[in-house]
Structure 1
Amino acid sequence: MAGLVKSRAAPVVLLLVAVPVAVWNSLTMTSSGAVPPGQALLGLALLAPGYLVGRWIDGTRLLVGAAVVGAVSTALLARSPWNWAEAPVALAFTVLLPWFVGRYRRQHLALAERLRQDARRARQRERTRIARDMHDSLGHELTLIALRAGALELSPDLPEPHRRAIGDLRASTSDATERLREIIGLLRDDTEDLASLVRRSVASGMDVRLVGEPTDSRTAYRVVQESLTNAAKHAPGAPVEVRVRRTSTTLVVSVVNGPSSSPGAATGGHGLTGLAERVRTADGTLDAAPRPDGGFAVVATMRRDAE
């Protein structure tokens, strides 16, 4: 029923049928001097077609066509000159007013969607700016620290305890640099869509299948990207299924790989902790665990509109 109402043809047919019925209903009620309950209910039901046309169909030519149908119907059904004044009033209340309400509703929702998209683009621009600043400042400084620590570690006159401490400093700085790159990757908005990611993985030799409707959620993209990376590392050659499912309130993304040909290789890999934190920022949860068949499954559940 919902698909019928939202199709372009159904509201048009309903409106073109409702106009002559509205004229007939108005003229018969006024001629009888009373309003039978059945005709009153019919009058209320006739409000729906005008609203649906205004809500789902763009353009006013249909309204002009409805006016022509109304005039023809009045000419055929009118019994006195007064009917020519009564019929337009009836059409104004049963067709024109609901059409304006439906049109207002459609424009209001369209404006709200544009505002959401504008806000989203503004947030994306701000993330890109922050990522660029972090890369240019912190990334450069951390790289210099790691290089200086590496040079100092090779100094021949450095005591062994100090050499080990410098080595730990260099390793920690390198880890911090990698972590910074991961964070910058999360902030930047240069991701492709899921279908492209899956195609690229298939082109690299992986056996990946995408099931469900694609999504433009960046969080979902990162979940799939990290999961495919782990599958390639820890279960090379195993089939992988990426499934996207939506409910009225949630977006569920699952990545399941089969067992690895190498014993004990089907593990969660690295990066799942940071990935779980990312999903939590979208008011979601991340479940990652081995499967009974030796494979591995990652399931992220988040808001339907999660970025």
Structure 2
Amino acid sequence: MDLLRRSWRDWLGDLGAVGAAMLLGWVLLQGTVEDLPPGETIAVRRDVLIGASTCVFLLLFRRRHPVAVAVTMVFAQWAATTTLGTAAIAMYSLAMLRPWRIALPIAGASLALIIGLFWIAEAGEDFLEGSVIFALIYAVLVTTGMLVRSRRQLIASLEERARAAETEQRLRVEEARLLERERLAREMHDVLAHRISLLAVHAGALEFGPGTPEGQREAAGVIRRSAHEAMEDLREVIGVLRDDAPGADPERPQPTLADVPGLVEESRRAGGRVTLEQNVPDPDLVPSRVGRHAYRIVQEGLTNARKHAPGADVRVCVGAGAELDVEIVNAMPPGPPSLPLPGSGTGLVGLAERVALLGGTLEHGRTGDGRFRLRARLPLRAAHGAGTGGKGGTHGSELL
């Protein structure tokens, strides 16, 4: 099963390791044959066969059982010269796949066994030379294996951090969307409650008015009762979004486009250099739904400017035509960037939700001259058609 799960990269690495073991073993065998004392021989075929068997063992089990393979190779070195190469590559695999606390003692024991074999077979300079060469080979292989292991662990850690960061960002975005939708639902509840209550009041006045014909009185009663039921249904549906604690302060009235100058003035009092260009003949004529979203867009733009470009000039432009055009542009401060205030980075996500509900468009990003621009286009005709009352429709035609 382990063999079937290996990728082509793993097989390529395994074949490379086996090839290196065979090459090193063959080189050591050739050196041993050339340096044999007169009258002594070595069974080359037997030696090669044993070395090939250990290479197959290395190929099959080096990844799943590196410790067992390395320990087996320590004792297999007594059997044939070619197994010295297999044992060296087994130590490399052990250092690559297991911690140094396991790899170093086994590699040290294998090297000590090799030096012992040299001490038995060689003497003088040959013993010293062989010991130094094998010590260097083991040092290079074990160190390389440990470096490869460290690099793989670092890459795995970075990938895990990237996945965690992506997941966290995705959760923050989803949370921001849910919170913004909840806030929008609460705002719409207040607006609809006001409109429906007015409808119920006028229908009641028509129903119980002294001069109302009987047929209209009955129709007005149906309208009044339907409005009352609609209020109850709306309260039940939106009530699950209400998470205010008992005794909490009541919500403030929702802002409109006419409150934008006050918002800009607050930023100026806080030390901001904000310029307001408002090309709207009468902000009170803008539908409250559109004005409320425009106010939030300006508020978010000024907040971002204070966070990411403190002390920079900010220009707020609000114009009304076929659409309500809201634009906030801030210059990037000179010199090195200052430390920004902490934030979730999801404010623009909420603005996108608001603009999408109105069928508008939202753009944000750096401009070619090094400034940052936030621009939203909110349709006015769609807002009137969505239901702002007959008076609002008249105002809209005057505004456009």
Tell me, yes or no, whether TM beats 0.5. no
TM-score calculated relative to the size of structure 1: 0.41
TM-score calculated relative to the size of structure 2: 0.32
